[in-house]
Amino acid sequence: MTTPVAPGVVLLHGFAEAAEDYAAAVEVISAAASFRHLKTPGGRPMSAAMTNCGALGWVSDARGYRYEPCDPLTGRPWPAMPELLRDLARRAAAAGGWPGFDPDCCLVNRYVPGARMGAHRDADERDFSQPIVSVTLGAPATFLWYGARRAGSPLRIRLVPGDVLVWGGEARRGYHAVGPPEAPPGAAGTAGAQAGLWDAPGAAAPVRINLTFRKAG
């Protein structure tokens, strides 16, 4: 089911159905480029761990926010984007109203209990005519959409595993945030069937994986 939630923002309920296949792809990516906690230019560590795949990867350090072709930890190119994930992003973008999207970067964020993302906008890319495609795997979470200004009360969108958000056009540089992972109803504090797929050292379920596809170059 496709639901417009704000001008330029579309929610595709349950669009990412092949959860186990996508999880396997994440494990391959993280084996080649490990999850790490980046720091903001001001030196504050981010609570969500992340890695990348594709021709470019998003990084943050004292030099600022930017895209790089190589993993700073290894000096090697980021792992190639699995065709399974590229196809998901293309299909989701088309279903959301942006056909022809071909991402060259996928940010993989891992949220353990307490991890969240503050209000920000994706503004480090070159071509803002291309949409953002965001996929939720693992545990549910609440997505907060502010829009053109990082102020006021945001629109709250609960995302469950398999949901895909697509935004573009006038919303492309909209401010947004995401809350910590939530245990689904009846799961007794776990993330359900996917709970053990992305265990972090010392972390308890629920764990949420977010795939964010972009055209960065």
List, for residues 114-143, the tens digit of each pLDDT value.
Answer: 999 999 999 999 999 999 999 999 999 999
2-214: CATH homologous superfamily? Alpha-ketoglutarate-dependent dioxygenase AlkB-like (2.60.120.590)
pLDDT of residue 184: 63
> How would you classify residue 200: left for phi > 0, otherwise alpha for psi between -120 and 50, otherwise beta?
beta
Mapping DSSP to helix (H, G, I), strand (E, B) and coil, where does residue 45 land? Answer: strand
Q: State residue 28 phi and psi, 5-degree precision.
A: -65, -45
Tokens read off for 65: 């926010």
Average pLDDT estimate for 204-217:
90
With b for 16 or more beta-carbon neighbours within 10 A and e for fewer, the 78-98 pattern comes to: bbebbeebbebbbbbbebbeb
- Cα angle at 53 between 21 and 179, to 5 degrees? 75
Lowest mean pLDDT among 181-185, 186-190, 213-217: 186-190
pLDDT of residue 185: 55
pLDDT of residue 24: 94
The CA distance from 38 to 73, in Å, is 11
Percent of the chain whose predicted confidence (pLDDT) is above 70 = 90
The CA distance from 81 to 105, in Å, is 8
- Cβ(61)–Cβ(74) under 8 Å? no
pTM: 0.91
With b for 16 or more beta-carbon neighbours within 10 A and e for fewer, the 17-47 pattern comes to: eebeebbebbeebbeebebbebeeeeeeebe
Give residue 55's pLDDT band: very low, low, confident or very high (50, 70, 90).
Answer: very high
Tokens read off for 74: 């290894």
pLDDT over threshold 60, residue 211:
yes
Taking all residues of the chain, what is their mean pLDDT, rounded to a whole number? 91
pLDDT of residue 206: 87
pLDDT of residue 199: 53
Q: State residue 188 phi and psi, 5-degree precision.
A: 55, 45
pLDDT of residue 205: 66
pLDDT of residue 192: 36
Q: How far is CA 9 from the centre of its chain?
A: 15
Cβ neighbours, 10 Å, residue 77: 16
pLDDT of residue 26: 96
- Cα angle at 100 between 86 and 76, to 5 degrees? 35
